[in-house]
Structure 1
Amino acid sequence: MIRWSDFSPSILESIDWNRCLEQLELCSSRCPSAYWPAIHPIAIMAIIGAKEHHVDPQLSQIAQNDKTIWYKKPNLRLLYLILIPTGLGVEWTSGFDSSMMNSLQAVSSWFEYFGRPNSSRLGLLSAIYSLGALMAIPFVPYFSQRLGRRRTILMVSWIMVLGAGLQAGSRNVDMFLASRWVLGFGIPFAIINASSLIGELSYAKERPIMTSLFNASWFVGAIVAAGITFGTFQMSTTWAWRIPSLLQLVPSGCQIVFMPFCPESPRWLISKDRGDEAFAILSKYHSEGENGEEFVRLEYAQIISTIQQEKEVASKFLWADVFRDAAMRRRFMLAGIMGFFTQWSGNGLISFYMKKILNLVGITDNHTVQKFILGNTCWGFINAVPIALIAPRFARRKMFLTCTIGTACVYTVWTVASARFAIEQSQKAAIPVLVFIFVYSPFYNIGWNALAYTYLVELFPFSQRAKGIAVEQLTVRFAVFFNTYVNPIALDSIGWKYYIVYCVWILVEILTVYMIFPETQGRTLEELSFMFEGKDVQDKVQKNAQKVLQVELEDIRERPVSRESRDVPGNTKV
């Protein structure tokens, strides 16, 4: 039997882990039960230690050498403006909901109308949103591949408008719970397709920044919700909570209004044999810089070649690809880990139960709680936007390590200060808690906010991207369900000692990021599509791309790259 103790650092560094994975695939296919007990240490280490390979970065080099700034490209500028309400705006809905539920706990009329909910009932009122999302996630990839990114977002936007209307008109707890389930059911469809659409439409040079701004947009909805609730919470009627609930439909309404003007993903169009439409979109939005025609033709050829390769190995059963091979298992493992880490890094306490955190350090006045929630939300937005613009310029691993180490330090000081307040009951001990709630935000935003969807879009090839983000959303919603249901009970039961759980957990995050997170910075999506599959597969894709260029060159020349608006959505068929 092979033991973990058999592996020294020098041995681990000398092993060809990709070769190990190939042999393990062969062995397990022949006799899984015989081989697995003996090789499980190797199997796990192979997944962790396998080196990623990158293809020749010809396309990304053209993009990086393009000196024309995006706002000097009229069509690309228009595209990014349209992606604000249609893509980034999806996170406004998510931020609005989290902030609203956080603030409603300090609204007396809401608290009284629903029978002064205890910790368990309060947890359920928040957690039912995640339960709806969990039930929706298995169906998201099917609709995404069947309908495309645009129509799926449009469909669920109507569902979330319905949910907001039901919540605003709630007559009892059951109706309120049902409305939040409807809202939760719609949100993963929107998030998965919007993040994919942003990544697949953006020009390679700005793609990491655009996908980083996706999560930062959460704060827009959160600030609006906190501000609205702060303005209504002193109303004596039920409109104190019905107005914020009703206005939750506004972000989804933005998607309904503006989505007809947004183009479809060129990669989805190519996967549906609609190459002419895809080429028209790429031609319009990606050809305005230096060497624009060369970039578009090479990008078009790489997308076709990559999707052809994906179709060759794709399984007929929708979710079978999750377990197809070691490379794909590694991707989905990373997606699942990302989901847990983005929600179990202590942010769930701040996002949903700020009132209870402040109560633990002697702040019980609802007006003060509302001001603190609004101030902290505004501070989150102020630091999240510049971080989203800057973080993608640095190596992904370094940013994630900075994030996890920083949040670990913050939570340690926060826990010590809370313990001191519990012992001394002094205002001086409470001040560090309030300060470090604000310090926490930029550290969290450096990694889990700014880079979460940037990283996910880069990890997965087109055919698996919706499923990959769906797996991330599955673990996100499971983690949020746990947070929203368990956190209030734990805070009431053991108080500040509950923070110790997060101190320990974030140390696990640091170790995990260091050991298994690959680097993806500085490449286009097609250059990253097969980074875990090895050099042979990547060489095959490159050769196929050259063949596509040669075979279709004459056809492409007959329809030359044009920056003019032709059959491009708004006008492209949906």
Structure 2
Amino acid sequence: MGVESTMKSVGSELAAVLPQGNGAWFMQPHLRSLNYFLFSMIILSSANGYDGSLMNGIQALPQWNRFMNQPSGSWLGFINAAQSLGSICSLPVIAWSANKFGRKKTLFVGYFWLFLGAGLQTGARSPTMFLLGRLSVGAVTTFFSMPAALLITETSYPTHRGIATSLYNTGWYIGSTVAAWATFASRDYVGDQANWAWRIPSILQLLIPLCALPGLLMAPESPRWLTAVGRPDEARAILTRYHAGGDADSPLVTFEMSEISSAIESERLNRNSTSWLDLVRTKGNRHRFLISVTIGIFSQWNGVGIVSYYLAPTLAAVGINSVTQQTLISGFLQIWNLIFAVLAAFTVDRLGRRPLFLISCFGMLTCYIVISGLSGSFDKTGAANVGVAVVPFIFIYYAFYDAAFTPLLYGYTCEIWPYELRARGIASMNISTQTALFFNIFVNPIALEAIAWKYYLVYVGLLVIITSTIYLFYPETNGHSLEEMVHVFDGEDAVPAHSVFGFAGDEKTGAVLQVENA
């Protein structure tokens, strides 16, 4: 990464103390190890993606529909929404646990719920047992997502943080791709083996999290959490090993430890203890809270819920009724999503967060207008070519969705909150996401059954509201370290970084100009 692009992503002060001339990250053993651990956390979001695509695929399977007694309307909505209900119930506990026991220990609790949920779904002998599996899978989503996102944000190498945190949610599509193709491969089971058409994809939910386990076992705890609980020596050792390659005298480690310690101490001096009310106690926190809640709602109420969980009925509404065609489209759609989500994650530092949000919203709005028009035309004429024309616009819509709401749902939320409130801030985003998802999944099949394609027009209106809100209230956060993010929300004087840390960088060259104590 060049000097100019480095300063753009982390700011001139931090750029001034970064090691120079060591080559690309993959040529440095300490960064290879660290990024392997981070990748292991990134693919944990596959658990959520697998579940979403699994339900999308098995709804197209007659074997599953027979087992579940042909669910439709509100009952089908509740089956899909049960996962969100399980997530909502576990979120407050996870925020407390992540602060009390650490990010890493909390993350491993997710494996208990993973085995329980996958086991209940795979071995289900009744619709109720399958539903209980869905509830357990909801806990998997949150026990993996929150601690993993926190660890990635708080452990990444400074110039990698924006991309690494944005990549986290792209793992959703790793899971969804495996689920979609597993469902496609098992669709033809018949006779006594018919139920294996959906049991095999259910048990495969264990696959990717188990692949991630070795990296998670070796991963370090968050240096920021260690500092906050009075273990700064361990935090410094982690930063020395994984950020400075073992150089205990590295200016980068000194800068990071000073910044982390100062920020955490400053937060504690301003309040003796933290509570959920602190999320709205100051003007800056109210702004953060507004973003955290709305981004969660917007991520589900921009129309993606129809395609994510109800692709089969959506395709059926435009004349694509073949199980093979539906599952094949679902499989290719997940590969498409993975490609565009990863590409977007790698541009967050280059393009900035705000431009990606606005590009995403304008693109989705345009696509939904076209999809609504084509679906309405097919409803009136029944012309097959009109129905088929909807499919490419679903793919284009998802490319725009992936430009922002896949990489930045966690990436943006994680970086805007100060350490003491970060876990609760992410929890508030997750609660709003899962609540919106629960409502959306429950209502969508009822609305689709009642008014068919006209329901798409609701999302056209919602996308106008979403675009306006983001334009007015979502600031650019590029070019700031985690601790310096207070400048964006609390004012330039919130943390006197220059005087406290004593590091200054030339804005053109990124070189260290002066290092002195204030």
TM score, norm. by length of structure 1: 0.82
Partner residue in 2 for 1:419: 376
Partner residue in 2 for 1:72: 27
Within 2, Cα distance between the matches of 1:181 and 1:172?
15
Within 1, Cα distance between the matches of 2:248 and 2:399?
38
Within 1, Cα distance between the matches of 2:466 and 2:12?
31
Give the partner amino acid of 1:190: F
Report the secondary structure of 2:489's partner residue: coil
Report the secondary structure of 1:449's partner residue: coil
CA contact (8 A) 1:67 1:289 kept: no
Within 1, Cα distance between the matches of 2:106 and 2:370?
44
Q: CA RMSD in A?
A: 2.1
Q: 1:535 Cα shift?
A: 3.0
Within 2, Cα distance between the matches of 1:293 and 1:175?
56
Q: How many residues were matched structurally?
A: 492
Q: 1:310 Cα shift?
A: 1.4
Q: 1:99 Cα shift?
A: 0.5
Kindly name which structure, 1 or 2, has the bigger radius of gyration based on alpha carbons.
1
Question: Any unmatched runs of 5+ in structure 1?
Answer: 1-53, 548-574
Q: 1:70 Cα shift?
A: 1.2
Partner residue in 2 for 1:460: 417
CA contact (8 A) 1:67 1:290 kept: no
Q: 1:57 Cα shift?
A: 4.2
Q: 1:459 Cα shift?
A: 0.5
1:508–1:132: structure 2 CA closer, same or farther, 3 Å change rule?
same
Report the secondary structure of 1:206's partner residue: helix
Report the secondary structure of 2:346's partner residue: helix
Within 1, Cα distance between the matches of 2:19 and 2:234?
26
Partner residue in 2 for 1:105: 59
Partner residue in 1 for 2:237: 280
Partner residue in 1 for 2:398: 441
The answer as to 2:98 corresponding to 1:144 is yes
Give the partner amino acid of 1:445: D
Report the secondary structure of 2:157's partner residue: coil
Partner residue in 2 for 1:37: none
Q: 1:529 Cα shift?
A: 3.7
Instruction: Give the one of 145, 158, 162 matched to 1:208.
Output: 162
Q: 1:484 Cα shift?
A: 1.2
Question: Any unmatched runs of 5+ in structure 2?
Answer: 1-8, 504-518
Q: 1:341 Cα shift?
A: 1.1
The equivalences for 1:71-470 within 5 A come to: 71-85=26-40, 87-236=41-190, 237-288=194-245, 293-314=250-271, 316=273, 318-470=275-427
Deviates most, 135-144 or 497-506:
135-144
Q: 1:264 Cα shift?
A: 0.5
CA contact (8 A) 1:100 1:222 kept: yes
1:183–1:312: structure 2 CA closer, same or farther, 3 Å change rule?
same
Q: 1:530 Cα shift?
A: 4.9
1:492-529 deviations in Å (ceiling 9; x for gaps): 11010000011110011111111111110022111114
Partner residue in 2 for 1:496: 453
Give the partner amino acid of 1:248: Q
CA contact (8 A) 2:364 2:463 kept: yes
Give the partner amino acid of 1:104: I
CA contact (8 A) 1:263 1:281 kept: yes
Report the secondary structure of 2:102's partner residue: helix
The answer as to 2:492 corresponding to 1:535 is yes
The answer as to 2:431 corresponding to 1:477 is no
1:329-351 deviations in Å (ceiling 9; x for gaps): 11111100110111111111111
What percent of counterpart residues are identical?
A: 35
CA contact (8 A) 2:274 2:421 kept: no
1:62-86 deviations in Å (ceiling 9; x for gaps): 449777321121111111112222x
CA contact (8 A) 1:134 1:474 kept: yes
Within 1, Cα distance between the matches of 2:472 and 2:85?
32
Q: 1:231 Cα shift?
A: 0.8
Within 1, Cα distance between the matches of 2:99 and 2:181?
38
TM score, norm. by length of structure 2: 0.91
Report the secondary structure of 1:537's partner residue: coil
CA contact (8 A) 1:62 1:291 kept: no
CA contact (8 A) 1:161 1:253 kept: no
CA contact (8 A) 1:158 1:256 kept: no
CA contact (8 A) 1:55 1:538 kept: no
Report the secondary structure of 1:509's partner residue: helix
CA contact (8 A) 1:154 1:256 kept: no
1:94–1:57: structure 2 CA closer, same or farther, 3 Å change rule?
same
Within 1, Cα distance between the matches of 2:16 and 2:247?
12
Within 1, Cα distance between the matches of 2:184 and 2:389?
25
Within 1, Cα distance between the matches of 2:295 and 2:20?
32
Give the partner amino acid of 1:364: N
Q: 1:118 Cα shift?
A: 1.8
Report the secondary structure of 1:519's partner residue: coil
Within 2, Cα distance between the matches of 1:479 and 1:493?
20
Deviates most, 255-264 or 336-345:
255-264
